[in-house]
Chain A
Amino acid sequence: MRGVKALFFILVLAGAVLAAGCIGSTNASEDRKPFEGQTITVCSGAGLMKPINELIGMFENETGVKVEVHYGGSSEIFGVLQTTCGCDVFIPGAWYYTEQAMKKGYILNGTVRNVTEHIPVIAVPKGNPKGIHSLEDLAKPGVRVVLGDPKAAAIGKVSKKILEKNGLWDEVKPNVVVFTPTVNQLLIYISTRQADAAIIWEDMVTWAQAKGKIEVVQIPREQNSIKTIPTAVTTCAEKDGHVEVARAFNEFVANHTEIWEKWGFRPWKG
């Protein structure tokens, strides 16, 4: 019995020492990192995952903030913003959604930053089996085209806009074998050679191109519809009491252009 009591005492003492150690560590952290212990939620287009993951890692190290991130299609995360007010920072894959969010009062005034260009390109399977070299080639007989759904995917809206702008929508549409709800499907279908061409974001094909599965055909600037990827703080951050740290993250994302460039994006020079 005495042995048990002694053991119990030792355990309590050990626990106390460990707890003191943790407390000391916390104090030290608070001295060094300005937002220690806070959490913010970021909603980001799924296609931006690689640079955003890296930026979050850097920001967390620098500030001690815990950043939770929700990736999805741009319209999907826009839905999250509207239905649950679940985003402190909103980074969709196209300006359109930030614009809509501003109109509906979800964006904090003065916080919108254009980060990079978002450039549509034509993606074709390795070897370019159908010899696609221009937008006009998408209308050639026998070409299997996949496009994003204009109602569901940011790339779908842009693709339709580009084709209409160049007077090609009616000619290309018969060649479209599927309008996809998600942008990722476009990549799958081109990589697996289910289709001969797609209009997709340039950054999304960087990896597949490097792996030798996809080739990229640039769209001439004057024919293209180049978007920007914006980042902004939401009014939800205000309700959550996270405005200052959300602003800090927002600026962090906008300023680290070298990370965006690393992952295939071109900095916006407005």
Chain B
Amino acid sequence: MERLRFRTLTIFVAFLFTFFLFMAIATLFFVPRPHEILEALKSEEMVYSLKLSLITASISTLLVILIGIPIGYALSRFDFRGKSAVKSILDLPMAFPELVLGLALLLLFGRTAFGDALSALGINVVFTKLGIVVAQFFTALPYAVRVIYTTFEGISPRYELVARSLGYSEFETFRKVTLPMAKDGLFASTIISFARSMGAFGAVLILAGGSYMNTEILPVTLYLNISYGNIGMAITSGIVLVVVSFLAILIFERLEGGEHGPVRG
């Protein structure tokens, strides 16, 4: 009887707060009139913003995965001096506001010795679309590393040891045994990185400038139009971002939490 009450209570809390959150998100969809949304979706600014968001988020996601895989693998399989420091520093951007990351990146890539050296090579980050990718990359990287690390942790080293004992090199083992087994987890981290990149705002605003129809991605469109008092456009930006996030999380849950999750060795 006591157990039944405990069970009922916990389930009730889960449903209650899910309901509140759902209602908050749902109002985005119900407040504006449909023709307002359609009008906003067709506007030049929204089309520009959506295209730029998709392109930069795709690029930053690709980069995050390419770099996240070796990082995640190293943290999972190898012990080395400074490992805990590496882990902590990689996790930092998850713990502080995005604006801090944006300011830090501005200082690094701006008018400093490092930034000037990059400029001399023709690579400009501040106030450019490349700045968007850089900001999104560093925003999304910690999340991807976490998921990838967890994925590799969930694969028993036994499979790798067997492959090695049968003559495979370390790299061959990684490429032919470990990566295929990590497929679902890697796809999940791709999804979470993309969603996180699409939603990056503070870092992009500071590093890339958040310029109208230049370095304007969807979160900036939302912010700009709130500032203009153009609520229809602002809400529509929010709706697009919610739809993207919803699809991303749906796929993520399917791959990460479902029966096709990482192989448990």
Contact = CB atoms under 8 A, between A and B. Distances in A.
Contact of A192 (B111, B220, B223, B226): B111
A188 B103 contact: yes
A152 B227 contact: yes
Contacts of B126: 194
A181 B126 CA distance: 15
Given A79-B227, A151-B228, A192 B110 contact: yes
Interface in B81-95: none
Nearest to B107: A192
Contact of A180 (B210, B228, B229): B210
Tier of interface size on chain A = 20 to 34
A93 to B, nearest CB: 12
Given A73-B227, A76-B227, A79-B231, A179 B214 contact: yes
Contacts of A181: 205, 210-212, 220, 223-224, 227
Contacts of B226: 76, 79
Contacts of A83: 229, 231
Contact of A185 (B107, B205, B214, B231): B205
B228 A192 contact: no
Interface in A72-121: 73, 75-76, 78-79, 82-83
B216 to A, nearest CB: 9
Given A192-B110, A194-B106, A194-B126, A75 B228 contact: yes
Contacts of A177: 127, 209
A179 B231 contact: no
Interface residues of B, number: 23
Contacts of A75: 227-229
Nearest to A193: B111
A115 B127 CA distance: 36
A75 to B, nearest CB: 5
Contacts of A67: none
A178 interface: yes
Nearest to B209: A178
A78 B228 CA distance: 8
B227 A192 contact: no
B229 A79 contact: yes
B227 A179 contact: no
B111 A194 contact: yes
Contacts of A79: 226-229, 231
Nearest to B207: A194
B182 interface: no
Given A75-B228, A83-B231, 19 more contacts: A75-B229, A76-B227, A78-B229, A149-B211, A152-B227, A178-B209, A178-B214, A179-B212, A180-B209, A181-B205, A181-B212, A188-B103, A188-B206, A192-B106, A193-B110, A194-B106, A194-B110, A194-B111, A194-B126
18 contacts: A73-B227, A76-B227, A79-B227, A79-B228, A82-B229, A83-B229, A151-B212, A151-B224, A152-B212, A177-B127, A178-B127, A179-B211, A181-B205, A185-B206, A192-B111, A194-B111, A194-B126, A194-B127
